[in-house]
Amino acid sequence: MSKIKCIIIEDEPLAVKVLSDYILQVPFLELQEIFKDAIQASDYLRDNHTDLIFLDIHLPKLKGMAFLKTLTHSPAVIITTAYHQYAVEGFNLNVTDYLLKPFGFERFLMAVTKVKAAGIENQKSNESQEIKDFIFLNVHKKKVKILFTEIVYIESQREYVKIVTTKNEYISKISTHEIESLLPSNLFKRIHRSFIVSINKIESFTAEIVEVNGVSIPIGRDYRSIFTGF
């Protein structure tokens, strides 16, 4: 199993240092980013994937519990707080664990090990499922079946995405990261912060542009290495 990518949402510098130090001591954890408030974290998660969130409850601008309710596809969450009264609400929102400050490394390790164990079980479950060649997406208050073979490219439009297929175009309220996680990586590649393309639909490409079905799509600077093996 690959490393568990995680972010910290915490406005207390001492708490951030404790969490960061603990994460560094666990070989299967990888710290991506640290945020002082949930608004910044929401912006990050719109275009980026994480496996685990360490979340404080009392945050500026948007409280931790309110933030959790905004997530359509929530990663694993470990709440870190000095207030025990939110535990029941937290577990009703399917958080993995609830750490009461101050907590030691042993208790922290127990919590993250739960996340690791759950990930292994999900991986086994996914591997045992029949391979699908389609996804269902919410489009205009109904579920629409979209075949992988018909998708040309996907374009981010803030909290929505536009899915362009050989037959139609669809707008669905889902982040670029979320739809990317639903697509088979051997058939689709993210080539820009805002674009995912079907490999089979690529007609030509340069260092800066990909042509798919007559449409020119820019290649982001951070994504150019994708094409080195083509």
> How does pLDDT run along the chain (230 residues), one tens digit per residue?
589 999 999 999 999 999 999 999 999 999 999 999 999 999 999 889 899 999 998 888 888 888 888 887 778 999 998 877 655 565 566 788 888 899 999 999 999 998 998 876 566 555 544 567 899 999 988 999 999 999 999 999 988 999 999 999 999 999 888 898 889 888 898 899 899 999 889 998 888 899 998 899 999 887 876 765 55
**Cβ atoms < 10 Å from Cβ of 5:** 16
Which of 93, 128, 163 is the last residue before a domain boundary? Answer: 128
Whether residue 147 sits in one domain with residue 62? no
DSSP result, 13-72: HHHHHHHHHHHHT-TTEEEEEEESSHHHHHHHHHH---SEEEE-SS-SSS-HHHHHHH-S
Whether residue 116 sits in one domain with residue 69? yes
Whether residue 101 sits in one domain with residue 49? yes
Whether residue 82 sits in one domain with residue 169? no
Helices (H), the chain: 13-24, 38-47, 64-70, 87-92, 105-128, 176-182
Whether residue 108 sits in one domain with residue 80? yes
Q: Tokens for 61, please give them.
A: 């601008």
Strand partners, 53: 7, 77
Residues 155 and 161 sit within 8 Å (Cβ to Cβ):
yes
Whether residue 157 sits in one domain with residue 47? no
Q: Is this prediction's pTM over 0.75?
A: no
Whether residue 122 sits in one domain with residue 174? no
CA distance 125 to 103: 33
Q: What is the domain count for the chain?
A: 2
Residue span of the structural domain in which 145 resides: 134-229
